[in-house]
Amino acid sequence: MGALAENLARVRERIAAAARRARRDPERVTLVAVTKTQSVEVIREAVALGLRDIGENRVEEAEPKIAEMSRLNEAITWHMIGHIQSRKAREVVAHFDVIHSVDSARLAERLDRFAGERGQSLPILIECNVSGEQGKDGLPADRFVEDAAQAGALVAEMEQIVGLPHLQVRGLMTMAPIASVPEQSRPVFQQLRRLRDVLGGRFPTAGWADLSMGMTDDFEVAVEEGATLVRVGRAVFGERL
Ligand SMILES: *Cc1c(COP(=O)(O)O)cnc(C)c1O
């Protein structure tokens, strides 16, 4: 087996073991292989090994890779996981199948408009900053239980987003702060799940099934806490150069 095949097998085993520890069905966890900085050749190899969900964080970098894979007729679900500038919204809608990083109603409105022009209904996740880390993307959501002002602002944004006709809300996404041990991410993932449960009660007609959380350093903890999408780069492809 090549290195990629071995890494992939190991990551899949670790996901399955984490799911079993939490008495969850491993089939309910999708591995999104994050291919930023990786070449199209590497993506082809990954697809040949059965990966179908690919994540990229910059539309400029992703575009030629998506074009090439589509030329090869590969059926891939492309996940946009990085911060989206307003002026890139149109391109993002044109190239990606699922957007994890919707972090404002304003961005959502633009995505909705472009999806509508294409006659699409675009699956999205709403990115939330549940750790309170400064300078982090995502709607502020670290104190939604005890801070009525934050909770009010959050609900107001969510209300606008869930009402958009060409977006399908699927759930929430977060990035935990860089941690020296995976356990440090657990409260962050628990907070995202609690927020999802609250929003599910508040906006029952939207879909809240998905939680996109966990990366190379903490994906097992994320699976234990309910992740349905883990975004893993280095554990599959090796360290980025
Ligand atoms: C790069 C990236 C990942 C994957 O990170 P690894 O540590 O390589 O697993 C996940 N999510 C986002 C948003 C990223 O930018």
Give the integer Cα–Cα distance in Å for 1 and 3: 7
Query: How does pLDDT run across 105-152, given as a tens digit for each residue?
Result: 999 999 999 999 999 999 999 999 999 999 999 999 999 999 999 999
Asked if residue 216 has its Cβ within 6 Å of ligand 1, the reply is yes
pLDDT of the residue at 129: 98
Q: What is the DSSP letter of 188?
A: H
pLDDT of the residue at 73: 83
Report CA dihedral (77, 82, 83, 88) to the nearest 10 degrees: -50
Q: If pLDDT is split at 50, 70 and 90, which confidence band does 62 have?
A: very high
Give the integer Cα–Cα distance in Å for 159 and 181: 36
Q: Determine the straight-line distance between the first and last CA of the chain, rounded to whole angstroms.
A: 23
Q: Is 88 helix (H, G, I), strand (E, B) or coil?
A: helix
Centre of ligand 1 from the C-alpha of residue 231, in Å: 6
* Most informative mutation of 38, 57, 129, 211 for ligand 1 (most atoms within 8 A of CB): 57
Query: How does pLDDT run across 158-200, given as a tens digit for each residue?
Result: 999 999 999 999 999 999 999 899 999 999 999 999 999 999 9
Phi-psi region of 160 (alpha: psi -120 to 50; beta: other; left: phi over 0): alpha
Residues with Cβ within 8 Å of 135's Cβ and at least 6 positions away in sequence, in order, are: none
Give the integer Cα–Cα distance in Å for 189 and 191: 5
Which tokens belong to 209?
A: 């099934």
